[in-house]
Amino acid sequence: MTATIIDGKAFAARVREQVGEHVSRLKADHGITPGLAVVLVGADPASEVYVRSKGKMTVEVGMKSLEHRLEADTEEADLLALIAQLNADPAIHGILVQLPLPKHLNEDLVINAIDPAKDVDGFHISNVGLLGTGQKSMVPCTPLGCLMMLREHHGSLSGMDAVIIGRSNIVGKPMAQLLLNDSCTVTIAHSRTKDLAEVVRRADIVVAAVGRPEMVPGDWIKPGATIIDVGINRLDAPEKGEGKTRLVGDVDFASCVDVAGAITPVPGGVGPMTIACLLANTVTACCRANGLAEPEGLTA
């Protein structure tokens, strides 16, 4: 069997198109332009790349993008003051503080200072609680993107066995909650899980979010299972030339593709969906703030 490749890049382009259409309607019918503010503290090179591409895509779908770049030694009180200002600004519907923050800043404190209604990353403790109790919330972008791809591929997920490898607050735990809300039987595996191979073998859906290159081999996969590979790992690739690198996931694509029913590639799978879902969350937040109908299919 050769798995269907779930094309996250194409799917993300469709999501962005849908967001763009909704933004056009908000402008034409209500004179509202959704606004996303991204706050970057310090100059972490990976974060710089993310922030640039988030800004570019925000503008491409017709929304307003504001970037706030603060020095690495910014004091917590100053960052909190900026967040308070953005919370109070009616032209801003989404606020994202790029993580990780420099060590002297308390990430939990900073994230929980964001107005939950503008928390487009879905990391605020109120949104975590709302998601955990099956209520309307802002949903973390990466797991939301994974859920959209799974729903698109399977239709209903009801009754499926899902195994998530990784228990982070950003991916593993919210992913589990979303799949539980869609009536999957959910197992969260992690670094202390005994006999991970056996646990993964019973899964109809495997979501790998670990950060260890190609750790899931094909012989852990139940034939026909769907694999969502969240991992992004950069490896040296001397075969491409000196100093070159390549990206791989947490799943050994070469051996899994022959066993799985469907699989997301790395790159081109989950990654592009994450930014598309950030844009989707911003337009959703804007609609909620204005008491307008939310776009269909862009939330959990």
How many residues line the site for ligand NAD (CB under 6 A)? 24
**Would you say 264 or 284 has its CB closer to ligand NAD?**
264
With b for 16 or more beta-carbon neighbours within 10 A and e for fewer, the 213-247 pattern comes to bbbbebebbbeebbbbbbbbbeeeeeeeeeeeeeb
- Beta bridge partners of residue 206, listed in sequence order: 163, 227
Q: How far is the CB of 206 from ligand NAD (least distance, A)?
A: 12
Q: Which helix (H) or strand (E) holds 246?
A: strand 245-248
Q: Quick check: 282 binds ligand NAD (CB under 6 A)?
A: no
Q: Is 85 a catalytic residue?
A: no
Cα separation, 121 vs 174, in Å, equals 11
DSSP 3-state assignment of 3? coil
| Beta carbons of 240 and 220 less than 8 angstroms apart | no
Rg (CA), the chain: 19
Q: How far is the CB of 176 from ligand NAD (least distance, A)?
A: 11
**Would you say 64 or 212 has its CB closer to ligand NAD?**
212
Q: Is 54 a catalytic residue?
A: yes
Q: Is 177 a catalytic residue?
A: no
Q: Quick check: 172 binds ligand NAD (CB under 6 A)?
A: yes
Q: Which stretch binds ligand NAD (CB under 6 A): 39-47, 53-61, 151-159, 224-232?
A: 224-232
Q: Quick check: 203 binds ligand NAD (CB under 6 A)?
A: no
> How many other CB atoms sit within 10 Å of the CB of residue 23?
23
**The binder of ligand NAD chosen from 148, 270, 278, 285 (CB under 6 A):** 270
For 64, phi then psi, to 5°, come to: -90, 130
Q: Give every CB contact of residue 129 below 8 A, 6+ residues apart in sequence.
A: none
**Would you say 32 or 275 has its CB closer to ligand NAD?**
275
Q: Quick check: 230 binds ligand NAD (CB under 6 A)?
A: yes
For 103, phi then psi, to 5°, come to: -55, -30
Q: Quick check: 87 binds ligand NAD (CB under 6 A)?
A: no
Of 119, 121, 250, 252, the active-site residue reads 121
Q: How far is the CB of 188 from ligand NAD (least distance, A)?
A: 8
User: What is the set of active-site residues?
Assistant: 54, 98, 121
User: What does the binding site for ligand NAD look like in residue numbers (CB under 6 A)?
Assistant: 142, 165-168, 170-172, 189-191, 193, 196, 209-212, 230-233, 270-271, 274
